[in-house]
Structure 1
């Protein structure tokens, strides 16, 4: 099993549009072969000591996949490719981490 943390930093004022597009593909993604989890999250403002300052324009997607091959297949689906084309002008930066448990 692999874990994916995908951080999407939206351009100013574009976060809502990206979230709309993500919500449209979420039901399709969770039905894909090998998808164990697909959670769309955002930062929470908190006063807990040591927690990084909340970034209002960041969306974080937490994913779990049975294998890297399943993740690679996901990246080639028509709904994911359409999503990428739809949001490309609204995104400032994307940071993706692929992790495995130890």
Structure 2
């Protein structure tokens, strides 16, 4: 699944409005408030110029192809849209 993500990453970074797009790996620590994630969890940090850019990204052919390619391994997917509030 990570290989498929890295395959489309250059195309995503070339999209209008894409500032950042990279996977993050969970690091186990002894910090008590850290949420424990499964080893099979993939976190993808994205930064877009606007929600409209994100929506356009989600409709691209390479994203549809990616979703189709990884669907056998995806049990659950979610998105959280955040604002820095600055």
1: distance between equivalents of 2:37 and 2:54?
Answer: 28
Q: Deviations over 1:22-78 (max 9, x none)?
A: 010111111110001101112111122321224211000001100111111111111
> TM-score under structure 1 normalisation?
0.78
Greater strand percent: which structure?
1
Runs of 4+ in 1 over 4 A off after TM superposition: none
2: distance between equivalents of 1:28 and 1:55?
Answer: 28
Aligned length: 85
2: distance between equivalents of 1:55 and 1:87?
Answer: 18
Which structure exhibits the higher relative contact order, with contacts defined as CA atoms closer than 8 Å and separated by 6 or more residues? 1
Matched, 1:72 2:55: yes
Matched, 1:38 2:5: no
Instruction: Give the gaps of 5 or more residues in structure 1.
Output: 1-17
**What corresponds to 1:61 in structure 2?**
44
**What corresponds to 2:72 in structure 1?**
89
Q: What RMSD over aligned residues (CA atoms) do the two structures have, in Å?
A: 1.1
Instruction: Give the gaps of 5 or more residues in structure 2.
Output: none
1:38, 1:64 within 8 Å by CA — same for their partners in 2? Answer: yes
2: distance between equivalents of 1:71 and 1:56?
Answer: 27
